[in-house]
Structure 1
Amino acid sequence: MANRINQLAQPKPNLIRFPDRRSVYWLDEFPPQKNVSTTAVKMTPRWSQLCGRKRLNAGFEQSRPSPQWEVSVAALKASPSNRVCSLALPLGPTAGWKPDRPLLASLSRAVQTAAASPRICQLACPKRRLGLYSPHSSKNFLVPHKPKRDSSRIQLLAISKADHPQYSQDRPASWPVPKSAREALASDRVKALSQPTQRKALFHGYDPYMVSLAARSASATPRLLVLNAADREHPTRAAVLEML
């Protein structure tokens, strides 16, 4: 029993100081030491067969020992037939094919020495359009003037329309003031109307709730009395006519 207690009292060995141990599992004791540094691998028959070179097929015939071989005398002296010569020729164009026209065609002598007729010169000039600006217009080209005469109707419509006999022109902006207007005197009523209405502000003698004397002495019309009456006491049409 004492030996067991002494065994359990011993500290557990620190195996972390051996990070390069062979086992990935936790061991209670050190792994056994080996004298061989590497693992001895034994070759199997299959591995030995795969390590060998690939053998040729049993039916393979080695008829060409080298990429360069001698040509026979018969092949050197052979002459092609007419069919082989016709097939060796390049394919020609069709019967209706024409080559493209060159960009710079050569002009004949007659074309180079030709002189344009007056009609061609007239047709070559640009057409003159009135009202349209053309950057290629020629100043030397003049259109012959054709005299035209307006009709009597156009001349009649061209005359400006006359004013009505009772039409009066606008009054000028500045005109002389008559003597009566300059010597006129304003009446008292005109002076009273020309003065602005003076109204006192609130808290300065102005009472918006004060009723004027005219409103207090006013009398209602019969129509207002009819409209002011209650619906139950609304008089008939004959009563209204008697009141009027």
Structure 2
Amino acid sequence: MTSRIERLAKPKPNLLKHPERSVYWLDELPPRRRGTATAFVTTPRLSQLAQGKRLHPSFQGSRPSPVWRVTAAALRASPSERVCHLAMPRVPAKAWQPDRPLLARVRRAVLTTVPSLRICQLSQPKRLATLPPPNMHIPSVGGLQPTRVSSHISLLATPKSLHPEYRPDRPVLWPVMVSALRVMPSERVQTLAQPKQTMALCDKRDPYRISRAALQAVASPRIEELSIPLPRKRRQK
């Protein structure tokens, strides 16, 4: 497997080796022109960037084998207290217990013990409560008295009554009164029923023309006050 530096040292691939396909693709490539083609000239900076990255002068390659010679100074070196402290393995927590083996020895007292009724009851799987069928008659249990409900609970249990003026949804087809069929709309209703007239773009109308009333209008002191920019946005000339 090549290293990172060796992969970076490889030159870039020539992308102009295969011509790019266009919309008008031909079976054969067009003949190359001689003498009229544009000669590409690269700048010194581009030529420098195109060169492969050189290795550092002090770079040393990978060692030939995992076993190498150790110097005498490294054999005689004495570690400091900090290095000895970091070299010590981490002590497990006080409450840590190793994993129990799969085949653990069971004591005779555990084998001869008898569970209580409560433990037998808790060991049973939980059963889902099923509702009885609607046609099934449930016998009444003797000794149970009917529960008395307070007046407030009875008041809350009663459904909410509809408003006296509530009217249900009208049907899709309902009869129309004769007076509604014979009614005549007023002039105001006919005016409001007319669609709004819009000026077409093809009309000879200048949208930038200013009316005479707008030219003679005088702004009020309040409008002049609002038109003045804020002091913090003014530029001092």
Band of TM-score, shorter chain: under 0.3
| TM-score w.r.t. length of structure 1 | 0.27
* Higher-Rg member (1/2): 1
| TM-score w.r.t. length of structure 2 | 0.27
Larger RCO: Structure 1 or Structure 2 (Cα < 8 Å, ≥ 6 residues apart)?
2
